[in-house]
Amino acid sequence: MSSIGKPKIAVTGPDDSGTTAWLFSAFNVWLSGGKAYRVTPKQFDGNTDYDGFIIGGGSDIHPDNYQQQDLPAFKRPLSLKLKEWLVYPLEFLDRFSKGRYDKPRDDMEIAFIDHALQQGKPILAICRGYQLLNARLGGKMYTSTLPLLRREMRIRSFFPRKKVIYTQDDSLISKIAGDEPLRVNALHSQAVAQPGDNMQVTGKEKSGINQVTESTKSDKILGVQWHPEYLFYMKAHRNIFDWLVCEARAKGSKKSC
C-alpha cells in the first residue's frame, strides 16, 4: 500500500470472543486516520499484507510459546483474596476462564510478528500480545502476577487504576504519551519477566511489574501491558494509536513519527 490514503492496520483476536476489544481498537485506529481489519485464526489465510499490526489481548499464551521465569514462593491470605474479589469483581469472574489456550491464534500472531519484524512494519502489542511479542524475541514470562504483588490487591479494571512510571530517559513511550506517569487499566494475570532480544523495559508499576517494552533498535515496536483501546478518552492513550498509524503511513521512509 502506498503512503496515500488510510494505512491498513490488522487487529488480531480470537474466533469466538473479543468483539468489544475489536470495536474499541477499530475506533481508535479510525480516530487516528487508519483503517482497521479484524483478523482471527479462522479468517487468516496467510496474508500479511498490512501496513501495521495490533497484536491484541485475550486468553493466556500456550506454554509451548514462551519461556517461564520462576516465581517467588508466597501464600496470599484468604482475607486478601476476598477483598480483591469484592473491590474488583472482574478478578473473581476471571477464575472461571482459567486454563484456556488458543494455539491457532498464537501461530497466526507469530506469523504477523515475524513479518512485521522482517519488513520493518510497526507493531503495537497489547496485553497478551505484549507478552507474545516479548516471548517470540526470546524473553521470559511470569505465569502469575499474584506472587509478585504479595500483599497488594491485584487490580482488574477497564478504568485507569494504576500508574506506570518510566524507567528510561528519552524512551519511545514517553515521546508518544508524554513525560508524566501514565494512568492505566489492568486486565492481566501474567506478566513479562525478562525482555527479549533487542528489547528493553521502559515502564513499570510501583510493584515492579513490567508494563512497557520497546525495541532498542527501532521506533516501530511497542508493547504495553494495559489496554489503551479502552482509554480513548485520555489523550496519552490516543497518542499511542496516532503513533502506530503514523508509522504505518510512513512505511519505507526514514521519517520519525
HEC string of 194-237 equals ECCCCEEEEEECCCCCEEEEEECCCCCEEEECCCHHHHCCCHHH
Across 62-76, average pLDDT:
94
Residue 257 lies inside a defined structural domain of this protein: no
Write down the pLDDT at residue 2: 39
Residue 1 lies inside a defined structural domain of this protein: no
Write down the pLDDT at residue 252: 58
Q: How far apart are CA 9 and CA 122, in angstroms?
A: 10
Residue 59 lies inside a defined structural domain of this protein: yes
Residue 124 lies inside a defined structural domain of this protein: yes
Residue 169 lies inside a defined structural domain of this protein: yes
Residue 60 lies inside a defined structural domain of this protein: yes
CATH of the domain at 88: 3.40.50.880
Residue 255 lies inside a defined structural domain of this protein: no
- Residue 113 neighbours by CB under 8 Å, 6+ apart: 53, 55, 123, 125, 132, 133, 136
1 pLDDT higher than 50 = no
> What band does 5 get if pLDDT is binned at 50, 70 and 90?
confident
The parent domain of residue 16 ranges over: 8-249
- Number of domain units in the chain: 1
In sequence order, the β-bridge partners of residue 9 are 36, 52
**Percent of the chain predicted with pLDDT > 90:** 87
Give the three cell numbers for residue 205. 508499576
pLDDT tens-digit readout, 200-215: 999 999 999 999 999 9
SS3 (DSSP) at 95:
helix
Across 44-72, average pLDDT:
95
Write down the pLDDT at residue 3: 42
Residue 77 lies inside a defined structural domain of this protein: yes
Q: Are 156 and 203 in contact (CB under 8 A)?
A: no
pTM of the model as a whole:
0.93
Write down the pLDDT at residue 92: 85
